[in-house]
Amino acid sequence: QLEGRLTDETLPRSVASDGKFIPSNIRWWCSGFYPGSLWYIYEYTGDKTFRELAEKNTFKLYPLKQKGTDHDLGFQMNCSFGNAYRITGEQKYLEPIHTSARVLAGRFSPVTGVIRSWDFVRKGRDWKYPVIIDNMMNLELLMWAADRSGDKSLRDMAVSHADKTLKHHFRPDFSSCHLVSYDTISGQPHLKQTHQGLSDSSAWSRGQAWGLYGYTCMYRLTGDARYLEQARGIAGFLINHRNMPADGIPYWDFDAPALASTPRDASAAAIMASALVELSGFVPAAEGERYMAFAEKQIRTLASPEYTAPAGENGGFILRHSTGAYPFSSEVDVPLTYADYYYLEALTRIKRRLQP
């Protein structure tokens, strides 16, 4: 259903409140999630039809390997070309990964020690060098390319970014602010704000999930115990939060009113579940069982009729009830392509754990 609505230069994005399908161009930050979803479906099923679709949609993104205008290359290239190489081992997927990693590295500043997220400045804000918590998700591209190319500088940048983010983004309770702006002269933070959360001091749900996933991933890639402890702290904050609904699907912001009318974010739940499945394998057995149990609750909720749409509905997307950017009234209570991606990833990771 989705495939029939696409051109050679478009990918799925969402569905409007009136049911109209919304595509994205290849430069939209979430363009890598649809080909990545197809790769996960192929990995899960072995159906060659999905491999062909995955390959076709992956190569739509080939021109992005030179895109240096924001930090989203990790989302775009690692989810598509990265999964393609991981699953097939075919050499044709390597060059775009390596090229895009070097382009992403061009956004790193040795003064701040982090990768700049955006070049734009929101009206009324005084951002000098903005870095958002989402940027943790792009470090795997650098680490992957460093390990296979021998370019240690890429690894050093990823580690520096993770270290600075750990130091400056997080509060004592392991919650994270959304955006830190660094002074370009001193290299130190001068603002801590939000762009998508309820307030500068709130815990925007998807941002917390990005942090959990990012530090779990960085522990896998480095073995650095600090990253494992950070991931465990974030997991505890999320699982035990007073406003975490009983079904495990968070409100769009943990500080939003805990009301039936407050939008949930299925995408945050899917990201969190995928991270918890991986994290469960890095900790003592009893702790790992708690993480797996919570992830299973989230997955079972997402798989229920409340969140999983019947075939042929929901514009062809799997999950309903995600929230993109609530403060801008953008993509509220709609399907989102990255919700489907991390849901499929979580299912694939669970299958690997149960059938190693």
**What are the E-state strand segments in the chain?**
10-15, 21-25, 108-109, 114-115, 130-132, 179-182, 189-193, 322-325, 330-334
Q: What is the per-residue pLDDT for 67?
A: 95
DSSP for 9-53?
Answer: TEEEEEE-TTS-EEEEETTSTTTTHHHHHHHHHHHHH--HHHHHH
Digit-coded pLDDT (tens) for 196-207 = 999 999 999 999
Digit-coded pLDDT (tens) for 175-198 = 999 999 999 999 999 999 999 999
Lowest mean pLDDT segment, chosen from 56-65, 231-240, 310-319: 310-319
pLDDT greater than 80 at residue 157:
yes
Q: Which two tokens stand for residue 169?
A: 């983004």
Q: How confident is the model at residue 120 (pLDDT cuts 50, 70, 90)?
A: confident
Are the CB atoms for 165 and 112 separated by under 8 Å? Answer: no
Are the CB atoms for 238 and 178 separated by under 8 Å? Answer: no
pLDDT greater than 90 at residue 69:
yes
Q: What is the dihedral sign for C-alpha 220, 228, 155, 349?
A: positive
Q: How confident is the model at residue 333 (pLDDT cuts 50, 70, 90)?
A: very high
pLDDT greater than 70 at residue 92:
yes
Q: What is the per-residue pLDDT for 113?
A: 98
pLDDT greater than 80 at residue 1:
no
Q: What is the per-residue pLDDT for 356?
A: 64
| pTM as predicted | 0.97
pLDDT greater than 90 at residue 124:
no
pLDDT greater than 90 at residue 260:
yes
Are the CB atoms for 325 and 19 separated by under 8 Å? Answer: no
pLDDT (average), residues 84-111 = 97
Active-site residues: which are they?
A: 72, 134
Which pairs with CB-CB distance under 8 Å and at least 24 residues apart come from 41-48? 41/344, 42/87, 43/83, 43/87, 43/348, 44/344, 44/347, 44/348, 44/351
Q: What is the per-residue pLDDT for 4?
A: 86
